[in-house]
C-alpha cells in the first residue's frame, strides 16, 4: 500500500500532462459500455470505437460511459480533445495510485474514489480506483477491472423511470458515490466479525501467543483503509460547498447523506482501531503480570529451599563433636517441615503467595 | 455498541430512500399518542389510524405526535407524503443506529438524539434513539419503546398553561431535548458513585486484582457514552446558528442552556475518564513497585544464605587435615551468625532493606 | 470536585427556570450589603428587605448589591421581576456548581467566576462561586459566604473618588474580576513553594517513598484549578469581543489586562504541571535504575559464589582416591581466593561492577 | 541538518540587508547560463559579464538566467539594482540555510526550495537550496552547484514550441517546482526499498541486534526530509491563493497538481515514519518477550534442581542412623527422577513451559 | 523561571495601574541616554533630569531614550503624563516578569521582549526584559541593566546616514527587535555545541551515567527558552497585521524578516528538543538492554553450574554401595566437562549466548 508512490517516480523529468500508465494494471484490456437514458427511453450497448460515444454528445438525455480495465492512451487523448478535459486530469486517470479527491472545472467535475474489497478472512484488501468525469448530461467512469459493482445502479436506471431517469448526471454521480460508500459498510461488517472474534479469543485466554500478531496486522490494514476512506468524506463536503452549476440544489441532500455515511464509517473504524489498541495494551499488561506472577512464585519457592539446603550443609560438615548429630535424624525432619511451614504462613500473610 | 453499523450493510446496493428497518427493534408494535394544545385547550388521545393525525394539520394549536416502538413502513410513507418529509429523512428514522444530528430543511427540522439509561450497577447501558421532526405547529417524536421518559413534559403541558402552552413547537422540541439531556445527569450520578467506590477500594488496597478489569470496563462504557453525547452539544450549537424560521429568537436562550448542560456533562465525563486512566496508571505502578520490593527482598535473602552455604560446603570437604575442624563446632556458628548480621547491617545502611 | 454535577440530577424532569438550590450551601443565611456611589456621594448600608434595593433603581449613581450566603427563592424571584432577569439566569445563580461563563443579554451581563482558596499546606482547596449581574448603573454580586474578599474594592471606592467613582458599573465589574484573578496569584505563590520544596526533597533523595503520592495529589489539584481558571480567560476574551453597550470602550484596556493575567496564570500552572510530570518520570526512572543496580550487584555476588560452592561440593564427594585431597587443604583456599579475584577483575573490566 | 542555524549567528549585530555568504559553499565559483525563448526563437548561451543579462530586460520573450554555484556579492548588488530586488531578498539568496518559502512582491516573486538527493544506500542526504526570482518575462534561478537537474526542462523548452514556449515566466517557474518535487519521488523510491528490506530482515529474525540502530537512523533522516518538504506544500498553496498578477489563471491547475504531489509525498513519508515507529515498538516488545521467555525457562530449570540438591544434601548429612541410607542407592534415583517429572508435568499444565 | 509569578502576588488587592516594582531588580540605579537623529544631524547625550527629554518632544527628528536599570516611580509617572501613556502600560514596564507581547494604542505601541543570554557552558540563562514604547518620532527602551547590546544599533545610526537616519521610529523599533532576535542565534550556536557534544559522548559510551541528568537539564532550559521566544513570533505577526499608523508599509518587509528568523529559531529549538528526547529514549533503552544482557548471561552462567552442583551433591551422599563411586574419580570429571559443554552448545544454537 505504501509502495503506491514508487512507480510514479519514473515520470520524474517528463512534461506535465504526459499520458503514460502509472501503477500495476489489474486488467490489461478495456471494456466499454454505454447507457443512455431519459425518462422516456433507455439504451444500453457495448462500445467498440470511440466515435460511437461522440455522437451522444448532442443528445439531451444522460449518457453514462463505463470504461473498465486499462484505457488506451489513444482513447484518453480523444476524450481530452472531444470533451475538453485538461491533460493533467487525463494524466491523473491513467495513474491508478491517486488519493481520492474532488476537483471542479468550468464544464466538468473530476472525482477520484477507491473501492475497497476484502479478498479473504485475513483482510488482504484490494483497492480499486474509480474515477468519475461528470459533464452536463455525460458521465465517464473509469474502473480498473470488470465486475458487477455498478450492476445495482444499472438495474435502478432500468426500473426507476420516474425518479432516477428524471434526474441529471449529478444524481448518477451521487448514485455511484453512494454505491462505493455502501461497499465500505460490507467491509466494516467483516471487520466487526474479526474484532469480535479476537476479543472472544482474548477473554477465553486461548492462544494468546498468536493474538498480538493478528491484532497488529488488522490495525495496519485499518490504517490503510482509513487513509483511503477519510478523503471521501472531505470530497463529499467539498462537493457540497462547490459552486459548480453541475451540482443541482436538489442533489445536495443526497450528497449530505453520503457524507453522513462516510462520517459514520470513519467513526466506526476509529472505534475499532481504539479497541485493537486497547487489546494490545491489555495483552502486554497481562503478559507482564503473568510473567511477574510466575517469577514471584518461583522466587518464593527458591527462598523456601535456601535455608533448608543450608541446614543440610551444616550437618554434612565434618566437624568433630557436632552435638545435634546425636539428637537423632527425625529431629532434623521436624526442622525441615517447620521452616517451610512458617515461611509459607508468613508469605500468605504478606499476600505474596 | 460498535456493531451499530453492521446490519446497515444489508442496504448496500439499494436505492437511497428505500424504507426498511435497520437495527434490532426494541418493541415490535408501535403505540401512537397525540397531544394537541393551545393556551385555551388541551386534548390528548390514543391514535389508531393515521387519518386522525392528518386532520390536526390545519389546526393553529401545537400538535405533538408520539410514536413509540417500531413504526410501520406504511405510516412512514404517509407521513412523508402528507407532511412533505424527504425520503432520506424517513429512511434515517427507520435506522435506529444513527449518530445524533440536526438538519434544517425548508419547512421542518430533523433532530436525532440518544437517550442513555444504565440498566444496572455494571453500567450495562441501553441506548434508545429518539428522533424529532419539528414542523410549524407539529412535532413528531419517534421513540424505540414505550416508557415514561416524556411524562414530565406531558404533565407540564397540562399544568403550565401560561408559559408552555403559549409557546410554539420549537419550545416543545427544546423541552424534549432538555429532558433527554437531564437524563444524562442521572447517568453521571451513578458514574460518580462507581468511580468514587473504585477510588475507595483502591486506597484501601482491597482486591486490587479485580480493579483493573472494572476500570477498563467503565472506561470503555465512558467512550461509548461520550460518542453518543458529544454530537448533542454540536447539534444544539448548530440549532443556535441555524437560520431556520422554525426556531424563534426567544427559544435561543433555552437552547443555549441545554448546550451549556451538554458541555458541562462532557467536561465531567472527560474528568472521570482522566481519573480512571490515572487509577490504571497508579495501579500499574503500584503492582510494579510491589513486585520489585518482593523480588528485592527475596534477592537479599538469598544473598545472605549464599556465603553460609558455601562455608558449610567447605567443611563438608573430605580433605585431610583441615585445621578448622578441630577448632570446635561452636566457632562455626559464630561465623554463621556474624556474616548475616554484618550483611543485614550493610544492606540497612545502603537502604536496600 | 468532579462530583459537582451530582446533585443537579435531582432537577431532571423539572421545568427550565425552576428556582431550587443546587449544590451544598456554605452559609445558609444570606447577608446583603449595598453601596451606592457617585463622584460626589457614597452611601453604604446593610439591607433587610428587598424594597430598599428597588428604590435605588432610578438613581443615576452606581449601586452595588452584595449578596453573601444562600439567597432565598423569594429574593431571586423579586430580582427577576424588578430587574428583568431571565428565569434561566436566576436558576444558574442558585446552582453553585456552574462553569465560569459570560453571557450578554440585552440589558444586563451575566458573569460566573470561581474564587479559589487553598485552605492549608496540602492544597485542599475551597471553590467559591461568584456571580455578577451587571446592569446599567447596577451590579449584583452573589457570593457563597461572607468574607473580606471584596474589602479592597470597597476601600478603593471610598478613597478613589476621582477615578473609580467617576466610572460606571462596567469598571466595578472589572475591579471584581481583577480581585478574583489576583487571588489566583496568591494560590500560585503557595503552589510554587510546594513544588520547589518537592524538587528539593527530590534532589536530596530524602523520603523518596512518599514523594510520588504527594506529586500525584498536587497534580490532581492542579487539574481542578486549571479547569476552574481556564474559562476565566475565555470569558474575558468574550467580554472584549462582546458588542454589549454595557461595556464601554475605555474599560477594554482593563479587561485586556485581566485577560493577560489569566493567560500568565494558566501558562504558569501548566509549567508546574509539566515540572510535576517530569518529577514523576524521573522518580520512576530512578526507582527502576536503583532497583536494577541492586539486582545486578546481587546477581554478580551470587555468580561469584556459584563456582566456589560447586568446588566445595566436588571435594565433599565420597569417591575413592581423589588425588587433590592429598595436595593439602591450603591449596583449595588458593583456588577459593583466585576465582573470585579473577571474576571481580573481569566484571570491573566489563563495567558491570 | 540542525546545525543550519549556526553560522548565521555571525550576522548578529549587522545591518539588515548586509550581503554576506551564510552556509558552507558547495561550489566556490559560479557558472551562469542564459536561455531566452519565445514561440519563434530560442537562444542559449554562457554568460561572462552581467551586462549581457541586462540587455534582455527589454525583450518580450522569456529569459531564464541559471546561476549555479556561489554568486559574487557584486553580481547580487547589480541584480538588486537593475531588477529592483529588495536587499533582504538578496540577503536570503546568499544564505543557503533558509526554510522553503514563497513571497510575493509588487513586481516579482521570491521562491526558496530544497532539492533532496540521497547520496548512498545509507540515506546520507544532500540538501541543495534552489532560489527562484520570477519577474515578468524573466526568471532567475540560484543553485548551489552545477548539475543536470534542470536539463529535462531545457530539453522541453527546445522541443515543446507550441505549448511551453507559448507560455510565460510563471509556467517556467512551475516547471522548475515540478522538477524539484519529482526528485522527491525518486527519494521515496529508495526510502521504500530501505523500509521494505528492513521489514524483511525483521520478519526473518536475522541480525535483530543491528536493526534498531538502522531504524532510528532512517527515522531521523525522515524527520529532516519532512522538515524540508512540508513547507513546499504550504508554498504551493500560498502561490495558489496569491493575488500576484505574475501568476496567470491558467497556471493555477499546474500549481494545484504540484501541490497534490507534495501532499501525496508528505502522506507517504508519514506512512513510512509510522511503519518505522511500529517496527521499533515491535522490536522492543519482541526483545522483552524473548528475554522474559529465556528468564522464565531458566527460572523453571533452576526450580527443578533446587529440591534435588536439597535432597542430596539431606543424605550427605552425618547423622547417625539415617534409615533411608540403608534402603539402597537406586531408591534415591527413583526420587531424583520422579520429582522433576512431576514438576515438568505441573509446569506444562500451568502453561509455564 | 517559573517563579516569575510569585512576587506579583503582593499586588493582589491593589488598584490597577498602581506603580510598584515587581521582580528582582538587576541594577538598582537607572542610567538614561538619549540619541536624537535626523538625516542631517545626530546628537547623543547622558540624561540627568527628565525635563531634558521633554523638550525633544516637539522635534521633527527621531529621539531614542534608553533607560537602563530600574526606573524610578517618579520618572514613570512623568512619562505617563507627558507622553500620554496609560497607567496599566507603566505598571507593565515596572513588572520585569512579563510575557513578551505587542499592544497597539492610539498614539503609541507597547512591545515587551526578553533578551536571552547563556551565562556559562551549563546553560544557566539570564532573561533580561526589554520594553519598547514607540511613539511618532520617539522611542523609549527600558532595559534591566546597562550593557552593550544596543551598541551595534547606535553605531549604525552614526554611520548609516542615508538609510537608517532617513527612516522613522518604526524602523528603529525594528532594528531593536532584530538585534534581540539575532542574540537568539548566538544562544542556538552554543546549544548546538552542547547537543553535539552530548551526542558524541553518547555514541562513544563514555560516562553514560551522567548523561541523562545533563540531557534533562538542557531540555528544561529549552522549555524556558521556547516559552520566552515563542511569543516573539506571535508579536511580530501581530505587528504585521496591526493597523496602527505608526508602522509604515515599507517597514513591513523588515518585520516579516524578523518573523521568519523567529520561526527559524523556534523550529531549530524544537528540533534540538526532539533530539534530546530521542537521546533520553535511546539511553533508557540502552540501559535496559545492557541490564537485560548482563542478567541473561549471569542466569545462563548459574544454569550451567546448577546440575554440576547437584551431581557433586549426589556423590557426597552417605549411601552404602553407590556403584559409581568405584568407577573412579576421573569419570566424574568427564561428566563435569561434558555437561557444561553441551549446555553452552545448546545456548549458542538458541542464540541465548
Supply the pLDDT for residue A58: 82
Q: A7-33 burial, b for 16+ CB within 10 Å, e for fewer?
A: bbbebbbebbbebeebbeebeeebebb
Residue of C14, C308, C322 with shortest CB distance to B310: C308
Residue of B6, B302, B336 with shortest CB distance to A302: B302
In terms of CA atoms, which chain A residue is nearest residue D186? A9
Taking CB atoms and an 8 Å limit, are C268 and E4 in contact across chains? yes
Supply the pLDDT for residue C179: 93
Q: Calculate how close chain A gets to B293, using CA atoms only, in Å.
A: 11
Supply the pLDDT for residue D195: 85
Whether B173 shows a pLDDT value over 50: the answer reads yes
Supply the pLDDT for residue D337: 93
Cell of C276: 510535576
In terms of CA atoms, which chain D residue is nearest residue A91? D257
Cβ of residue E272 closer than 8 Å to a chain D Cβ: yes
Distance CA D63, CA A146 (A): 50
Across B180-196, average pLDDT: 87
In terms of CA atoms, which chain E residue is nearest residue C321? E329
Residues from chain C that touch B185, judged by Cβ atoms under 8 A, are 5, 8-9, 11-12
| Interface with C, mutate which of E11, E104, E282, E298 (most C CBs under 10 A) | E298
Distance CA E289, CA D66 (A): 53
Average pLDDT, chain D: 86
**Residue that is written with C-alpha cell 436558576 in the block:** C91
Taking CB atoms and an 8 Å limit, are A318 and D318 in contact across chains? yes
Could you report the per-residue pLDDT of B55-107, keeping only the tens digit for each?
Answer: 898 888 999 999 999 888 888 999 999 999 999 999 999 988 888 999 999 89
Sort residue A67 into left (φ over 0), alpha (ψ -120 to 50) or beta. Answer: beta
Taking CB atoms and an 8 Å limit, are D295 and E300 in contact across chains? no
Cβ of residue E330 closer than 8 Å to a chain C Cβ: no
Planar angle of CA E55, E57, E59, nearest 5 degrees: 90
Partners of residue E139 on adjacent β-strands: E64, E134
Which of C43, A293, C291, C316 is CA-nearest to residue B292? Answer: C291
| Per-run averaged pLDDT (10 residues), chain E, 353 residues | 51 74 80 92 90 87 93 90 93 88 92 86 82 94 91 91 88 94 87 83 62 81 86 91 90 91 88 85 80 83 90 88 84 91 90 76
Tell me which long-range contacts E310-314 makes (C-beta under 8 A, separation of at least 24). E310/D305, E310/D308, E310/D309, E310/D312, E311/E335, E311/E336, E311/E339, E312/C310, E312/C313, E312/C314, E312/C316, E312/C317, E313/C313, E313/D308, E313/D309, E313/D312, E313/D313, E313/D316, E314/D312, E314/D336
Supply the pLDDT for residue E209: 60
Whether A252 shows a pLDDT value over 70: the answer reads yes
Distance CA B295, CA E244 (A): 69
Cβ of residue E297 closer than 8 Å to a chain C Cβ: no
Whether D47 shows a pLDDT value over 70: the answer reads yes
Q: How many CB pairs under 8 A join C and E?
A: 128
Q: Calculate how close chain B gets to A287, using CA atoms only, in Å.
A: 13
CB E301 within 8 A of CB E343: no
Distance CA D299, CA D297 (A): 5
The CA-atom distances, in angstroms, between D152 and each of A9, D33, D155, E242 are: 14, 15, 5, 45
Cβ of residue E332 closer than 8 Å to a chain C Cβ: yes
Partners of residue C109 on adjacent β-strands: C104, C134
Main-chain dihedrals φ then ψ at residue B352, nearest 5 degrees: -85, -20
Residues from chain B that touch C317, judged by Cβ atoms under 8 A, are 318
* pTM of the full structure: 0.79
Taking CB atoms and an 8 Å limit, are C268 and E15 in contact across chains? no
Whether A4 shows a pLDDT value over 50: the answer reads no
Is the ipTM beyond the 0.85 threshold?
no
CB B186 within 8 A of CB B115: no
In terms of CA atoms, which chain B residue is nearest residue C290? B352
Across D332-341, average pLDDT: 92
Counts of helices then strands in chain E (DSSP H, E): 8, 7
Helices A169-203, A151-159: crossing angle, 10 deg rounding? 140
Cβ of residue B291 closer than 8 Å to a chain A Cβ: yes
Q: How many CB pairs under 8 A join A and B?
A: 126
Q: Calculate how close chain D gets to E213, using CA atoms only, in Å.
A: 22
The CA-atom distances, in angstroms, between E141 and each of E68, E107, E279 are: 8, 16, 41
Whether A223 shows a pLDDT value over 90: the answer reads no
Distance CA D102, CA D80 (A): 18
Residues from chain A that touch D303, judged by Cβ atoms under 8 A, are 298, 301-302
Residue of D285, D318, D323 with shortest CB distance to A316: D318
Whether B327 shows a pLDDT value over 90: the answer reads no
Distance CA A233, CA B97 (A): 19
Supply the pLDDT for residue C212: 77
Q: Compute chain C's Rg from CA coordinates.
A: 34
Distance CA B91, CA B96 (A): 10
Residue of B253, B302, B310 with shortest CB distance to C312: B310
Supply the pLDDT for residue B210: 63
Taking CB atoms and an 8 Å limit, are C186 and E12 in contact across chains? yes
Main-chain dihedrals φ then ψ at residue E274, nearest 5 degrees: -65, -45
Supply the pLDDT for residue E4: 45
| Interface with C, mutate which of E7, E11, E15 (most C CBs under 10 A) | E15
Q: Calculate how close chain B gets to A55, using CA atoms only, in Å.
A: 30
Query: Higher confidence at residue D6 or residue A191?
Result: A191
Across A10-33, average pLDDT: 78
Whether B3 shows a pLDDT value over 70: the answer reads no
Cell of D14: 549587522
Could you report the per-residue pLDDT of B241-259, keeping only the tens digit for each?
Answer: 888 989 998 899 999 999 9
Chain A stretch 108-167, residues whose beta carbon is closer than 8 A to a beta carbon of chain B: 152, 156, 160, 164
Q: Which residues of chain C have pLDDT under 70?
A: 1-13, 122, 203-210
Residues from chain E that touch C263, judged by Cβ atoms under 8 A, are 99
Question: Residue C130, Cβ neighbours under 10 Å: how many?
Answer: 21
Residue of D178, D272, D306 with shortest CB distance to A2: D272
Residues from chain B that touch C302, judged by Cβ atoms under 8 A, are 302-303, 306
DSSP state of E95: B
Sort residue D111 into left (φ over 0), alpha (ψ -120 to 50) or beta. Answer: beta
Across D1-23, average pLDDT: 65
Question: Residue A142, Cβ neighbours under 10 Å: how many?
Answer: 23
CB B125 within 8 A of CB B54: no
- Dihedral, A255, A260, A262, A263 alpha carbons, nearest 10: 140
Cβ of residue D240 closer than 8 Å to a chain A Cβ: no
Chain E stretch 67-106, residues whose beta carbon is closer than 8 A to a beta carbon of chain C: 86, 88, 98-99, 101, 103
Q: Calculate how close chain A gets to D47, using CA atoms only, in Å.
A: 26
Cβ of residue A223 closer than 8 Å to a chain D Cβ: yes
Supply the pLDDT for residue A37: 94
Least-confidence region, from B16-20, B39-43, D158-162, E82-86: B16-20
Supply the pLDDT for residue A155: 92
Residues from chain B that touch A164, judged by Cβ atoms under 8 A, are 15
| Interface with C, mutate which of B197, B252, B313, B346 (most C CBs under 10 A) | B313
Name chain C's partners: 3 or more CB pairs within 8 A: B, E
The CA-atom distances, in angstroms, between E188 and each of C282, D97, E222 are: 26, 15, 10
pLDDT band at D10 (very low <50, low <70, confident <90, very high): low
Taking CB atoms and an 8 Å limit, are C318 and B321 in contact across chains? no
Taking CB atoms and an 8 Å limit, are D15 and E164 in contact across chains? yes
Query: Higher confidence at residue C134 or residue D290?
Result: C134
pLDDT above 90 as % of chain B:
36
Cβ of residue C309 closer than 8 Å to a chain B Cβ: yes
Say how many CA atoms lie within 13 Å of B218 toward its Cβ: 30
Least-confidence region, from A165-179, A294-308, E20-34, E245-259: E20-34
Distance CA E333, CA E337 (A): 6
Taking CB atoms and an 8 Å limit, are E192 and D12 in contact across chains? no
Q: Calculate how close chain A gets to B338, using CA atoms only, in Å.
A: 16
Amino acid at each position: 500500500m505504501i509502495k503506491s508512490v514508487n512507480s510514479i517516480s519514473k515520470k520524474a523529468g517528463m512534461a506535465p500532462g504526459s499520458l503514460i500508465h502509472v501503477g500495476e494494471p489489474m486488467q490489461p484490456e478495456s471494456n466499454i459500455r454505454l447507457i443512455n437514458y431519459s425518462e422516456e427511453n433507455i439504451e444500453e450497448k457495448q462500445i467498440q470505437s470511440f466515435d460511437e460515444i461522440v455522437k451522444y454528445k448532442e443528445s439531451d438525455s444522460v449518457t453514462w460511459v463505463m470504461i473498465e480495465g486499462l484505457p488506451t492512451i489513444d482513447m484518453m487523448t480523444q476524450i481530452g480533445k472531444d470533451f475538453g478535459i485538461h491533460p493533467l486530469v487525463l494524466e491523473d486517470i491513467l495513474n491508478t495510485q491517486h488519493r481520492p479527491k474532488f476537483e471542479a472545472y468550468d464544464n466538468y467535475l473530476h472525482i477520484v474514489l477507491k473501492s475497497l474489497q476484502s479478498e479473504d478472512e485475513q483482510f488482504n484488501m484490494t483497492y480499486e480506483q474509480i474515477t468519475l468525469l461528470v459533464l452536463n448530461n455525460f458521465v465517464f467512469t473509469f474502473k480498473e477491472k470488470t465486475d458487477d459493482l455498478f450492476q445495482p445502479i444499472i438495474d435502478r436506471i432500468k426500473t426507476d423511470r420516474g425518479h432516477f431517469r428524471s434526474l441529471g448526471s449529478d444524481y448518477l454521480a451521487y448514485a455511484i458515490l453512494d454505491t462505493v460508500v455502501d461497499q465500505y459498510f460490507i467491509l466494516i461488517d467483516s471487520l466487526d466479525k474479526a474484532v469480535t472474534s479476537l476479543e472472544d479469543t482474548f477473554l477465553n485466554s486461548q492462544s494468546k501467543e498468536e493474538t498480538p500478531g493478528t491484532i497488529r496486522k488488522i490495525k495496519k490494514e485499518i490504517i490503510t483503509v482509513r487513509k483511503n476512506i477519510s478523503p471521501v468524506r472531505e470530497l463529499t463536503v467539498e462537493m457540497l460547498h462547490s459552486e459548480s452549476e453541475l451540482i443541482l440544489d436538489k442533489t445536495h441532500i443526497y450528497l449530505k447523506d453520503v457524507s453522513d455515511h462516510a462520517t459514520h464509517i470513519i467513526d466506526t473504524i476509529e472505534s475499532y482501531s481504539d479497541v485493537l489498541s486497547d487489546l494490545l495494551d491489555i495483552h502486554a499488561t497481562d503478559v507482564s503480570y503473568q510473567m511477574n506472577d510466575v517469577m514471584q512464585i518461583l522466587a518464593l519457592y527458591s527462598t523456601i529451599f535456601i535455608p533448608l539446603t543450608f541446614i543440610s550443609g551444616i550437618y554434612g560438615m565434618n566437624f568433630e563433636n557436632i552435638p545435634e548429630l546425636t539428637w537423632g535424624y527425625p529431629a532434623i525432619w521436624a526442622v525441615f517441615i517447620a521452616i517451610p511451614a512458617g515461611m509459607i504462613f508468613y508469605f500468605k500473610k504478606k499476600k505474596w503467595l
